[in-house]
Every structure is written in C-alpha cells, then in structure tokens.
Amino acid sequence: MIKTGRPPRRAWIARLGPRGEVDLQGAASPRAMVEDAVARVGAGPVRWAIELNSVVLRRIVGEVPVLGGSPAAVEMLRRGNEATTLRALFTLAEGPAATPPTDEAILEGIREFVHRAIPLERVLHGVRVGHAATTEAFLRACAELVGPADAVDEVTAISRELFSYVDELSDTMIRTYLAEHEVWSTSAAAARADLVRSLLSDAAAVDVDEASRALGYNLRRTHEAVVVWSDSPKGGATLQAAAIEVLRARGATTTLVIPVASGRLWAWGTVPPDEADRTGGTGRTDATHSTGSWETITEALSRQRMRAAFGTPGSGVAGFRRSHREAERGERVERLRREAGRAPRHATAYADVAAIALLATDLDAAGDFVRRELGGLAARSAPMEALRTTLYHYIGAERSLVDVARRLHVARGTVTYRVKRAQEVLGHDLDDRRFALHTALALAEELGDAVLLPRGVEA
C-alpha cells in the first residue's frame, strides 16, 4: 500500500488533484519512481502531474511535430516529460535543493533526438513549449488554491523557481545533446544515415558507386522499400531483424536498414528486376506467390506487434527514392486509419492503398470532397456507417447482392434495404456521379472521422 507523503512546504500543493480519472498504473515512469513520488508529495499531486503531462505532451508534439515521429518516439517523449513534470513538482513542494538529479528518461530522449538528426534549436523549442505549458498549469492551480492575500507573492515565487529549474534543466540537456552529437557524428551509423538522407533528398549530388560501397548495398539494382514501426519502443535489433525477415520473404537478396526513431526504421531490399512490373499487393498478383506468402509476412509482424508499409519495387537510385516515398505514404494511411478507429493492418502494400494515399494528401480537401458527395450519408453515426459500408461494397461488387451479403455476413434483404435507404439519403440515383460517389465512399471507409461531418452535425 502506498503511503502519502509528509506535508509539503507549500500547503496548497498537497491539495492538487486531477480533473479526470488518472490511474497511477498508467504512468509512463517506472512503478518504483511513481511510488517514491507518492511517498514524497502524495497521490493527488502525482496524479495531477501525470494528467498535466498528457496535456503538455500534446502541445509539444502539436507545435514541434518533429519531436514525435512515431508512436514509440511519442511514448519516449511522454516518459521523459513526465519525469520533468515530477521534478518540477518536487522543486516547488520541497525546494530546489531537494530536486533529484536529471532522470535518465530525460537524457535518453535527448540522445534519441541526436540520432534522428533533430537540430538542437528544435529540441530547445520543445523545452520552451513544455515549460510554458507547465508553468501556466502551476500558476493556474496556485490562483485557485491560494488565498488572495498570498497569491501575488506565491505566483512570483513559483515563476522564479520554475524559471531557475528549467534553466538548469536546459543546460543539462544542451550538454547531453552536444556530447552525444560529438560521439554520434563520428560513428559509422551516423554516416550511413546521413548518406541515405542525402540520397533521398538530392540524389544528383551523390556518387552512386561510391555511395554503394559506403553502404554495402548496390544502389544500381531494383529496390523494394519498407517502413517498419512499433507502438512501443522496441530494441533496434528487434526491429532490424523484423525488417530483414519481411524483405527476405519478399525475395530480397541483400538489405539496407536505417533506424530513424525509437520504434521506427527505414529499410530496402534488392529484388529481382521483374518484381518492378508487379504490384506486390495482398495476394492479388503473382509477386506474392513467387516471393513468399503475404499472410506469412502479416503473421510474423502480428506476432512481434509491429507494422510495416511496403513501396512498389523500382530500379536505381530513382526507384530507391520512389519506393521509399510510397512506403511512407502507406504508413501515413495506416496512421490515419488508426486515428479513425479502423482495425490495424500489420502489413500494407502501397499498391493497395495508392488511391487513398494520393486522395488524402490534402486531408482537408479530401474531407470537403467526401462531405459534398455524400451529404447526410457522411454523418458520424452507426446507422450511416452501415449504409456507407454496404453501398461501398455494393458498387464495388457491380451491384451483386449475393457478394455483398457474403462479404458483410448479412442477409440479402438487409443489403437491399441498406442500399435503398442510402440512395434516399443521397437524394439521387447511384449512376449519377458514380465514380465520385465510390471514391468518396472509399475515403470514408478508410479514414472515417477524418473526412466525415463533425459529430452531431447532419447535412
């Protein structure tokens, strides 16, 4: 059983508490650290700090997106910022002298930023955003919990102590960043990553044969790119092994793997030249059968709780770049689908999502298109979703009631009813603007709320 702490030097801090439900088991910090924090300042303030961390994290990622980059990278940022928030809480509750040393979770994140080639000024921008949001929360809580007679002096003291705290923290982070950068910039891994980024951004400035020798990978061959990621900060070796496994299953004879963030990496494999003429999708082409079962790849990724998005094969440096861009677009589609609450796909072939990826390049415009074409059918409700899904498959199946009923596991009469009802909501015949209608339905099917009407709004 966790004990509450001794009274803090600022009595109002003991009265801090979250506005919502906060489970200490869901903290990003290790359990021992959370228990120590509760013992020092009490459960309410710790829950308040954990809730605040979620708010601050969203603001940091929103204003400095490069500090995110993958679910695992965001989780690492959450862990580091939670440690920062708890240290700030200790500073105010017990005094600067009682503040513990900078936590390893904070420094781990800084080293990660170096490896991802994130400039120091962007890191410090994130620190400033986090500091501003944290200070704002403490000052607001102080104003609510401290009597008017003491509020001015208390706010002044809090501002001064938090400024000193973040100044010391920033100094430690800068020194950690520069020390890691000095080591990393001379490493082979950094050289390989820099070379690959150069190939992706300005291939004309790179000598292909020299780059091939430096990478140990023949850039003049045909390449299939893949982006592999995980929601948890998997070890680099685990991700690399998964990337190599799936590329070998795709027929790759040699591979190139470049870690780019915690829980995320880029990889390429050299494949037979004729693979470039095949789509390599989910069992729809000969490529899947000749280079390994797509189901096997999906099962392997599912077992390891990882996801992968594949580009289509391409030859030479141009194909190396194009396949990678496609893999990243496939990854973006999967992230959008996840935000829409769609069932995750562990393996995604760009050939299977190319149309959606291109249509969703401008997500705002895609949403305008969907809402304009579907009207009331774009409402966020279970009945409208059932109508959209049925109509989407009905048009795709060339109006075969049997095929749609079998695919959706419903009776033919249900399909008939839903199609009729969907047409009533649309207000026009299905042959009117059929291509636009089917395209809008496909976007709604894949991306959900991102392109639908706001919740509670009817067209």
User: What is the full DSSP assignment across 114-160?
Assistant: HHTT--HHHHHHHHHHHHHHHHHHHHHHHHHHS-HHHHHHHHHHHHH
Q: Is the pLDDT of residue 146 over 50?
A: yes
pLDDT for 457: 61
pTM assigned to the model: 0.63
Domain range summary for the chain, segments of one domain joined by +: 11-184, 204-358, 362-451
Task: At 254, list the tokens.
Answer: 């040699």
Instruction: Kindly give, in sequence order, each residue whose CB lies less than 8 Å from that of residue 184, ignoring residues fewer than 6 positions away.
Output: 114, 115, 190
Q: With bands split at pLDDT 50, 70 and 90, how would you rate the model's confidence at 458?
A: low
**Please, which pLDDT band fits residue 372 given cuts at 50, 70 and 90?**
very high
Average pLDDT of the chain? 86
Q: pLDDT band at residue 148, thresholds of 50, 70 and 90?
A: confident
10 Å Cβ neighbour count for 358? 11
The pLDDT value given to residue 291: 44
Residue 389 pLDDT exceeds 60: yes
Dist CA 336 CA 159 (whole Å): 40
Give the pLDDT band (50/70/90) at residue 459: low
Could you report the per-residue pLDDT of 338-357, keeping only the tens digit for each?
888 788 889 999 999 999 99
Q: Is the pLDDT reported for residue 276 higher than 60?
A: no
Query: What is the fold of 204-358?
Result: Alpha-Beta Plaits (3.30.70)
**SS3 assignment, position 310:** strand
CA–CA gap between residue 122 and residue 91 (Å, rounded): 26
**Regarding the domain delimited by 362-451, which CATH topology (the fold level of the hierarchy) does it fall under?**
Arc Repressor Mutant, subunit A (1.10.10)
Note the pLDDT of residue 259: 86
> Which DSSP state fits 88?
H
Same fold, 204-358 and 362-451: no
